[in-house]
Amino acid sequence: NAGVTQTPKFRVLKTGQSMTLLCAQDMNHEYMYWYRQDPGMGLRLIHYSVGEGTTAKGEVPDGYNVSRLKKQNFLLGLESAAPSQTSVYFCASSYSLTGQGTEAFFGQGTRLTVV
């Protein structure tokens, strides 16, 4: 029972490089989210998706792009990494936002350092 799986777990990028973080869930959840967590800032929502083929901006979307081509996968892209994007990134999924099944299941996180 894998739940939410993020790859990679760690990554070091040089300023200006690009990369994609992959999130996969096996719970048939409609909703998926990308958060970043920084010391003293808590979890901040970057982008989210309410279903396959849909994406929406969260609190801090600048510098990131996302895609949800398949229901089980949610990709987070950094086109030109900046040191300010050094953070721990968490992917999460939930069955719904209202009604039953609103609890979010989180991945183990990706620690990204941009030098």
Nearer to another protein, 5 or 17 (CB): 5
Cα(92)–Cα(25) distance, integer angstroms = 9
Of 97, 104, 110, the C-alpha closest to 64 is 110
Nearer to another protein, 81 or 92 (CB): 92
Shortest spacing between CB 56 and another protein, in angstroms: 8
Shortest spacing between CB 48 and another protein, in angstroms: 6
Given the rule CB under 8 A, which residues bind another protein?
4, 33, 35, 40-45, 48, 58-59, 90, 92, 97-98, 102-109
Cα(54)–Cα(40) distance, integer angstroms = 31
Shortest spacing between CB 66 and another protein, in angstroms: 14
Nearer to another protein, 44 or 71 (CB): 44
Beta carbons within 10 angstroms of residue 91's beta carbon: 29
Nearer to another protein, 11 or 17 (CB): 11
SS percent in the chain: helix, strand, coil, step 5: 5, 50, 50
| Contact status, residue 34 vs residue 76, Cβ threshold 8 Å | yes
Shortest spacing between CB 93 and another protein, in angstroms: 11
